[in-house]
């Protein structure tokens, strides 16, 4: 009976990467003609799972069945042959070819002479577009389409290869409300034709509008699968988030009224008119979904991206932090969210990376004071418990956690009074996470103040004394530690609560 009901079944799928278990015995069953939403925080394993289902990555162990038959995909082509297609966030369309050509790319119909049968191609393409109720001319070039139309073309393309399961990864990320409605109409149309959709989105409201069933993942594990009508928003968020590990975070007791850092009317790319105050010894969390402007805000304040307007005050004095050099001189330290691109010079040594921001203090005139450098680097390596074989080891060969500690060491070497930490524990294992939290707590005890930006909500709530929630470039809510929980933060961040 089961094999009739489910067209796709995953049983105990495990996927390991060196040092990481990305998927840990995942189960998933997809019925014909249903919209099945997948929910989970960043790093829960959604994208890995999608790659496995679409044949882009092999799995380590477990079973995958299509129509009750066990399958093993070696490429996305294998998956397509079984009727599974994926629409990526960045579309796989060739912008200078027409809609029709893109839909049949690699499978263009041929005439008897071996040339392309344009008449058949355009006819077939237009038929498919019409069937979906799309008002797109198949002879239009992709570059002349809107984002939404390009996406519809992708969906139409999936139909031409006979897809029965279409995976959509954040399909509405770049769409307007009007276009989202259009997408949902088309998804309904697909359902009627017995096509199943695996729908991934961070937007809860969409998931509850469009899906039939919801599966929640956390830390690479399957948490639950529920009928959408039998569950609710709070329930799903609670499942996504799971229980807090309370002792991962140091007990904080912070009290201070002294404002050491203040932003007035800061504007820039993706940030509008932000005001905030940071107190001495405080950890101030700034929450927000992707694109909310929280990461951008930190980069604007540090001068990594242009400051269009606004004023920055450190300890009551107005400072210029329009470039990283000026920001560092003003006593602002910054840990970027992208450690490999923006944090470290991976091909150089631990020593050179740690001292990079404070070369001036470690020099006599233009010459490096190698002895002073060595002592200071050794001190920081020991203080942050960085595990290395020697300070001349290349940073690129360290684990994520140790790399991150090198970034911390570099920033602390400059002795900043204000620390801005973007995603300080991204890609770091749990042990190193706890150490980094301890380091942050110690910093505040030394009188430094921290702005913490993280998409890891338990971390943000566990570490912050106060949380500001950003949405669409503005601060929409201030939440004190006592009132903070993930549901509230998520609700404000996603706009689920109106003021």
Query: In this chain, which stretch among 45-53, 259-267, 333-341, 427-435 interacts with another protein, using CB under 8 A?
Result: 333-341
Least CB distance to another protein at residue 265 (A): 24
Interface with another protein, residue 344, by CB under 8 A: yes
Q: Is 390 in the site for another protein (CB under 8 A)?
A: no
Q: Which of 115, 246, 255, 341 binds another protein (CB under 8 A)?
A: 341
Asked if 33 is part of the footprint of another protein (rule: CB under 8 A), the reply reads: no
HSE of 29 in the Cβ direction (CA atoms, 13 Å)? Answer: 13
Give the nearest distance from C-beta 359 to another protein in angstroms: 5
Nearest by Cα to 354 from 376, 337, 382, 327: 376
Q: Residue 422 CB, nearest distance to another protein (Å)?
A: 11
Minimum CB separation of residue 410 from another protein in Å reads 7
Size of the site for another protein (CB under 8 A): 29
User: Taking contact as CB under 8 A, which single stretch among the options 9-17, 60-68, 113-121, 334-342 is the one that binds another protein?
Assistant: 334-342
By CB under 8 A, name the one of 397, 429, 478, 480 that touches another protein: 397
CB 458 within 8 A of CB 484: no
| Binding residues for another protein restricted to 414-473, rule: CB under 8 A | 414
Contact stretch for another protein (CB under 8 A) within 54-62, 131-139, 240-248, 336-344: 336-344
CB of 418 vs another protein, minimal distance in Å = 15
- Is 110 near another protein (CB under 8 A)? no
Cβ-based nearer residue to another protein, 87 or 395: 395
Q: Is 405 among the residues that bind another protein (CB under 8 A)?
A: no
Q: Which is nearer to another protein, 2 or 341 (CB)?
A: 341
Minimum Å gap between C-beta 371 and another protein is 12
Distance CA 411, CA 420 (A): 10
Which of 348, 372, 383, 477 is close enough to bind another protein by CB under 8 A? 348
Nearest to 34 by CA among 209, 234, 243, 196: 196
**Total Cβ atoms within 10 A of residue 497:** 14
Rounded to the nearest whole angstrom, what is the least distance from the CB of residue 295 to another protein in the complex? 13
For residues 114-143, which are near another protein according to CB under 8 A?
Answer: none
Map the chain to HEC letters.
CHHHHEEEEEEEEEEEECCEEEEEEEEEEEECCCEEEEECCCCCCHHHHHHHHCCCCCCCEEEEEECCEECCCCCHHHHHHCCEEEECCCCCCCCCCEHHHHHCCCCCCECCCCCECHHHHHHHHHHHHHHCCCCCCCCCEHHHCCHHHHHHHHHHHHHHCCCCEEEEECCCCCCCHHHHHHHHHHHHHHHHCCCEEEEECCCHHHHHHHCCEEEEEECCEEEEEEEHHHCCHHHHHHHHHCCCCHHHCCCCCCCCCCEEEEEEEEEECCEEEEEEEEECCCEEEEECCCCCCHHHHHHHHHCCCCEEEEEEEECCEEECCCCHHHHHHCCEEEECCCHHHHHCCCCCEHHHHHHHHHCCCCEECCEECHHHHHHHHHHHHHHCCCCCCCCCCEHHHCCHHHHHHHHHHHHHHCCCCEEEEECCCCCCCHHHHHHHHHHHHHHHHCCCEEEEECCCHHHHHHHCCEEEEEECCEEEEEEEHHHCCHHHHHHHHHCCCCC
One of 28, 204, 295, 328 touching another protein (CB under 8 A): 328
- Of 94, 245, 309, 359, which one interacts with another protein (CB under 8 A)? 359
Is residue 374 within the footprint of another protein (CB under 8 A)? Answer: no
Among 282, 296, 352, 423, binds another protein (CB under 8 A): 352
CB 407 within 8 A of CB 335: yes
Q: For another protein, give the closer residue by CB, 279 or 448.
A: 448
- Taking CB under 8 A as the criterion, the residue among 202, 252, 405, 410 binding another protein is 410
Does position 387 interact with another protein (CB under 8 A)? The reply is: no
**Nearer residue to another protein within complex by CB, 98 or 358:** 358
Task: Give the bridge partners for 21, in sequence order.
Answer: 16
Q: Near another protein by CB under 8 A, which window of 60-68, 236-244, 250-258, 341-349?
A: 341-349
Answer for which of 106, 114, 366, 390 binds another protein (CB under 8 A) is 366
| 363 binding another protein? (CB under 8 A) | yes
The verdict on 226 binding another protein (CB under 8 A) reads no
Candidate residues 245, 345, 378, 430; the one interacting with another protein per rule CB under 8 A:
345
Please report, as ranges, the residues that interact with another protein according to CB under 8 A. 302, 304, 324-325, 328, 334, 336, 341-348, 352, 355-357, 359-360, 363, 366-368, 370, 397, 410, 414
């Amino acid at each position: 009976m089961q094999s009739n009901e489910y067209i796709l079944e995953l049983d105990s799928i495990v996927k390991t990467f060196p040092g990481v278990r990305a998927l840990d015995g995942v189960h998933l069953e997809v019925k014909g003609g249903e919209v099945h939403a997948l929910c989970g925080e960043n790093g829960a394993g959604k994208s890995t799972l999608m790659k496995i289902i679409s044949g882009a990555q092999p799995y380590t162990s477990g079973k995958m069945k299509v129509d009750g038959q066990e399958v093993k995909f070696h490429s996305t082509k294998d998956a397509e042959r079984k009727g599974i297609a994926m629409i990526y966030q960045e579309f796989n369309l060739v912008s200078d070819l027409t809609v029709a050509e893109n839909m049949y790319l690699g499978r263009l119909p041929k005439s008897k002479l071996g040339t392309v049968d344009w008449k058949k191609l355009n006819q077939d393409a237009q038929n498919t577009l019409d069937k979906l109720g799309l008002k797109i001319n198949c002879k239009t070039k992709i570059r002349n389409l809107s984002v939404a139309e390009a996406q519809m073309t992708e969906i139409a393309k999936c139909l031409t290869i006979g897809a029965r399961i279409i995976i959509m990864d954040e399909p509405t990320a770049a769409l307007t409300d009007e276009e989202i409605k259009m997408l949902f109409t088309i998804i309904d149309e697909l359902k009627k034709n017995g096509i199943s959709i695996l729908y991934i989105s961070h937007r809860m409201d969409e998931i509850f509008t469009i899906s039939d069933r919801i599966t929640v993942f956390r830390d690479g594990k399957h948490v639950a699968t529920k009928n959408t009508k039998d569950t609710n928003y709070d329930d799903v968020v609670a499942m996504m988030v799971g229980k807090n590990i309370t002792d991962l975070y140091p007990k904080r007791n912070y009290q201070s009224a002294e404002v050491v850092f203040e932003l007035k009317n800061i504007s820039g790319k993706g940030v509008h008119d932000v005001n905030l105050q940071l107190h001495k010894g405080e950890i101030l969390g700034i929450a927000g979904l992707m694109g909310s402007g929280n990461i951008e805000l930190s980069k604007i304040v540090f001068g990594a991206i242009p400051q269009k307007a606004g004023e920055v005050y450190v300890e009551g004095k107005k400072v210029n932090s329009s470039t990283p050099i000026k920001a560092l001189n003003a006593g602002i330290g910054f840990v970027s969210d992208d450690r490999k691109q923006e944090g470290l010079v991976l091909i150089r040594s631990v020593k050179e990376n740690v001292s990079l921001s404070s070369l001036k203090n470690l020099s006599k005139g233009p010459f490096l004071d190698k002895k002073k450098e060595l002592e200071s680097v050794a001190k920081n390596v020991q203080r942050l418990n960085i595990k290395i074989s020697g300070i001349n080891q290349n940073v690129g060969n360290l684990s994520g956690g140790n790399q991150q500690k090198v970034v911390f060491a570099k920033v602390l070497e400059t002795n900043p009074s204000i620390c801005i930490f973007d995603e300080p524990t991204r890609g770091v294992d749990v042990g190193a996470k706890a150490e980094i939290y301890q380091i942050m707590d110690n910093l505040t005890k030394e009188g430094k103040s921290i702005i913490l930006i993280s998409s890891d909500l338990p971390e943000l709530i566990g570490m912050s004394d106060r949380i500001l929630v950003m949405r669409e470039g503005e601060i929409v809510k201030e939440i004190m530690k006592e009132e903070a929980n993930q549901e509230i933060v998520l609700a404000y961040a996603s706009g689920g609560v109106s003021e």
